[in-house]
Every structure is written in C-alpha cells, then in structure tokens.
Amino acid sequence: MLKRVTMSVVKLLCCLLLTYSISEGKKIKGSRSVDTELRRVLKPTEPYVSSSIFRMFLKGEDTCTLDTLQLHTFTSCGFNSSNPLIIITHGWSVDGLMESWVVRLATAIKANLIDINVVITDWLALAHQHYPTAAQSTRTVGKDIAHLLHSLQERYQFPASKVHLIGYSLGAHISGFAGSYLEGPVKIGRITGLDPAGPLFEGMSPTDRLSPDDAQFVDAIHTFTHERMGLSVGIKQEVAHYDFYPNGGDFQPGCNLKNIYEHITQYGLLALEQTVKCAHERSVHLFIDSLLNKDMQSMAYSCSDNSAFDKGVCLHCRKNRCNTLGYDIKRVPSGRSKRLYLKTRSQMPYKLYHYQFRIQFVNTMENMEPSLTTSLIGTKEDSGTLDIPFNEKILPNKTYTFLITLDRDLGDLMMLRLLWEPPTLWKNMWSRVQTLIPWVDREKKPLLTVGRISIKAGETQERTSFCPMTDDGQHVHMSQNVVYVRCKDDRDD
C-alpha cells in the first residue's frame, strides 16, 4: 500500500515537472491544424461522436446521461430550456476518478440558484493519461462541449448567452476552447477559470489557452502560481477580464508545506498529495464559498502587484477597481485584463475585511525602527491587538501605509489605541540609564510625534480620521498607550 501511494505521488510530481520544463516557448503540438479541423467538424456530414460524457446533475450523486445523438434524452433528464445552463469541467486526473469537489460545486449551485441546468463534463478517459497527453486532449473536449451547445441551439434555440462554463485546471482551458469553437454571432455568456493549468499553457498566445476572447465575460481565480523547482501548477499570467489572485495567488493559508503534519493526521499516507493539491484546489472552494455564504462575499482590489497590495495602497473601488470574487462578480468587461488581489482565511467562510492604516510622523528617531501595535474599536466589534511592524527607519513628515485584515466587521470605527514598542536593545539601554542615573528626567525619554492617522475600510470605502483624545496625545512615548478618537470634522477623502 505504501509503495503504491508513494508511486502515485511521485508520478504526480514528476509529470508536472516534466510538462512544465518542456512548455517554455512551445505550443501544444499541431494546435493550429487541430483548430482548423475542429471548426470544420462542428458542422459534420456524419453524426458527431463525442469523446466526453455529459451528465445532467440532479441531486446528491444522482445524474442523468445526455446523448447529443438522441436529443430526447435532454427532455427525459429534465433539461429546461427556460433556465440558464452551467457546465462544470474537471481537470487532469491522477487516479481516473471524479474528484469530490465536482459534486460539492454542483450541489451548491443547485441549492442556491434553484432554476438552473447543471451539467458535468466527464472526460476522465482522456484526463487519466500522462499530463502532456491530457493537455493535448483539451481541444478535443472543448470541441465536444461546443458541439453540445450547438445541438441545444438547434433543438431548443437555446442561446449561448445563457451558458456559463466553469472549468478547473485543464478544464479552464477546455472551457476556453469550447468558447472559441462555438460558431455564431453570440458568444458564450460567461467562462470561469478555477486556477487554470500552467504547464504547457503559460506564455502561450490567446488562441492556445483560456482568454477574454472566449466569452462575453471571463473571470479567473489563481491560487497556485508559486514557482518551486521551475514548477507552477496554475497559470500566472492574466487570462480573463478579471483575474483574481487571493493571497498573492501562490500558496494559500493552510496549504503550505509546514501544514504537512496536519495533513498526515487527516489523510494519512496521502498527506503529501493533499498538500500539493491544496492550494490548486482552493480556487474551487473559494467559488463554492461565494455560493454558500451570500452574506460574506469576498472583495478583491485592482493592484499592480501583491507587494503593493500588502502595503495597503490599493483599496480603491472607483472606475471598477474592485470586484466580488466568485459567482456574484459584477460583469463589467474591460478593454484589458485587471489583476485583483485580496486576503482570505484558511477555511470557509474565507472572507476577510481589509483596512488601510495610514500614519504620519513629524519627527524621527535616529537609528530606530519602531514597532507599533494598535487596537481598533468600532460600533460592532473590537479588533484586539494588531501588530504594525516597521521594516525601515522612519523619516520626518512622511506618511506610512499598512494593510490590516480582520475576520470580522468592526462596523463604524470610533476609536483606536496606539502603543509604541521600541526595540528590546533600546528598552534595555533606557532601563539601565534610569537605574544608574535615577534622577534622569523621565519626560526626556524617546518619543514619537505623530501627525495624522486615518483608516480606510476597503469593503465600505469609508475613511475615518483620528485625533488625539488629549492635548498631548500627539506625542507617543515608548511603552505608553495613547487613545485617539474620531475627529469632529472627520469626512471621507
């Protein structure tokens, strides 16, 4: 048993490494000739035989097989042409089995959208191959989906605009190919790519991967783009109108290798495989979360990169610079792809509330890198103690910005406490000075002179300015708590 599991994990890692190493600067072999042939096949002179199996999702694990050669099966399986259609497409398969998330996603869709047709694309026969072979088959499966939609158009006059394709990993690119192969004046309404596969697709032209051209609206969630040993499981580049990068888009909370022991407890010998797939599959669970927790929708913000986002400078919503991650995204097509960032928790519900903390210092402390802690008090909650570490020496009359995330809504901010914790070395030195020279003036000990403090809530876009509660509150002595309250003339910036 141990040997079989170990070989499975080795196969997973080796195949991914192999495919990524050969993907640099190359396209899937024969892609353009295949593309021409598939377009020709969509209007065949002989009955089209699909390589994929399409199953109408009913409830639980109950499905009903659709047959495009016998269109009456659509009626007998309960297809309602008045309702929109969602097609879920899985990715590469290591063991040849349908992954459990497929049923979870389908169930969440049916339970929360109700009047909806949900179809599952089963391409396991092609997906359970070496990764390069499975990747080569994505165009074939895309053609199968396009033919299914073409049949629905002919039989039910079902418009492509009512179709939403949701694809995971290789399934994301399959969905893109389906959109590009479907002929007609109207494109597919929406395609959602859940961590679209990177190997053999990273750096490719829009015609050779999922792209914004494949549907009226395309969104993608990138959760495992971190490169290690030259490997990136998910694609890093933009492939949609809105590309979401939760937690920077690389490793996700609870998925780092340091969590391997936790995974061993839960999964036993399969722990390594679970750790490897954890971040990749997180994209699926973030989407499911958006369906199950309607009152806790995760908001993401347009930003140049994750480093800038971590500094808290990107919490803006003007000109469609923020959007909701998941099913309820605002469909606002843009001329160019938008990269959006957000922080999430390690488990469902994943939502975190984002706050921009801005503080200005009037004076400087030579050779000091102060560390501040704060606590925010709102009309609903108290944040508790939050660290605001400085990784650089402060300069006079300069404003510093930080990103704060919380797992609860504080409501309207009313007050904050600020505590300056100086470096241990400085604290010890000052303590010795007071011991050796007890008459030293304690009021002369180091202090920071604070200018303006403001906090902006990303989810509400409200900015609150804070003023010292006392006249001398502008001066912060080390190890002293200073209270700030909402300024009387506070107004949004």
pLDDT tens digits for range 211-248: 999 999 999 999 999 775 556 799 999 999 999 999 99
User: Which H or E element spans position 310?
Assistant: helix 306-310
Q: Which residue has the higher pLDDT, 281 or 334?
A: 281
pLDDT digits (tens, 9 = 90+) for 55-82: 999 988 899 999 988 888 999 999 999 9
pLDDT digits (tens, 9 = 90+) for 116-173: 999 999 999 999 999 999 999 999 999 999 999 999 999 899 999 999 999 999 999 9
Rounded to an integer, what distance in angstroms lies between the CA atom of residue 341 and that of residue 326?
Answer: 13
Res. 463: pLDDT tops 50? yes
Least confident of 216-220, 287-291, 413-417, 479-483: 479-483
CA distance to 263, 422, 434, 437, per residue, from 428 (Å): 42, 10, 10, 14
Res. 490: pLDDT tops 80? no
Res. 12: pLDDT tops 50? no
Helix axes 260-267, 271-292, angle to 10 degrees: 90
Q: Which of 90, 241, 280, 285 is catalytic?
A: 280
> 168 is written with which tokens?
């995971």
Q: Which of 35, 122, 144, 195 is catalytic?
A: 195
Residue 272: pLDDT band (50, 70, 90) is low
One-letter amino acid identity for 320? Answer: N
Q: Is 280 a catalytic residue?
A: yes
Which pLDDT score, from 0 to 100, does residue 218 have? Answer: 97
Least confident of 92-101, 138-147, 484-493: 484-493
User: Which H or E element spans position 170?
Assistant: helix 170-181
List, as one string, the DSSP characters of 106-146: HHHHHHHH-S-EEEEEE-HHHHSS-HHHHHHTHHHHHHHHH
Q: Which of 93, 169, 302, 454 is catalytic?
A: 169
CB distance 30 to 131 below 8 Å = no
Single pTM value for the model = 0.86
pLDDT digits (tens, 9 = 90+) for 284-304: 999 999 999 999 999 999 999
Least confident of 83-92, 159-168, 370-379: 370-379
Q: What is the mean pLDDT of the chain?
A: 84
Q: Is 222 a catalytic residue?
A: no
pLDDT digits (tens, 9 = 90+) for 318-364: 999 999 999 999 998 777 899 999 999 999 999 999 999 999 988 76
Which pLDDT score, from 0 to 100, does residue 436 have? Answer: 57
Which pLDDT score, from 0 to 100, does residue 250 have? Answer: 87
Helix axes 31-41, 138-156, angle to 10 degrees: 20
Res. 433: pLDDT tops 60? no
Which pLDDT score, from 0 to 100, does residue 2 have? Answer: 39
Residue 489: pLDDT band (50, 70, 90) is confident
CA distance to 65, 145, 156, 162, 316, per residue, from 159 (Å): 22, 14, 9, 6, 36
Q: Which residue has the higher pLDDT, 97 or 369?
A: 97
Which pLDDT score, from 0 to 100, does residue 227 have? Answer: 72
Which pLDDT score, from 0 to 100, does residue 448 have? Answer: 80
CB under 8 Å to 410, separation ≥6 — which residues? Answer: 353, 376, 377, 378, 379, 380, 381, 382, 383
Which pLDDT score, from 0 to 100, does residue 14 have? Answer: 43
Q: Which residue has the higher pLDDT, 163 or 8?
A: 163
Q: Select from 252, 463, 248, 453 the least CA-distant residue to 355.
A: 463
CB under 8 Å to 488, separation ≥6 — which residues? Answer: 467
Rounded to an integer, what distance in angstroms lies between the CA atom of residue 288 and that of residue 349?
Answer: 10
Q: Which residues pair with 371 in a beta bridge?
A: 389, 421
Q: Which residue has the tokens 């042939």?
A: 37
> 385 is written with which tokens?
């103690």
- Residue ranges for the known binding site are 209, 214
Residue 92 — φ and ψ, nearest 5°?
Answer: -60, 145
Which domains occur in the chain, in start order? 53-342 (3.40.50.1820), 353-424+443-486 (2.60.60.20)
Cβ neighbours around 188 below 10 Å, total: 29
Res. 415: pLDDT tops 80? yes
Q: Is 241 a catalytic residue?
A: no
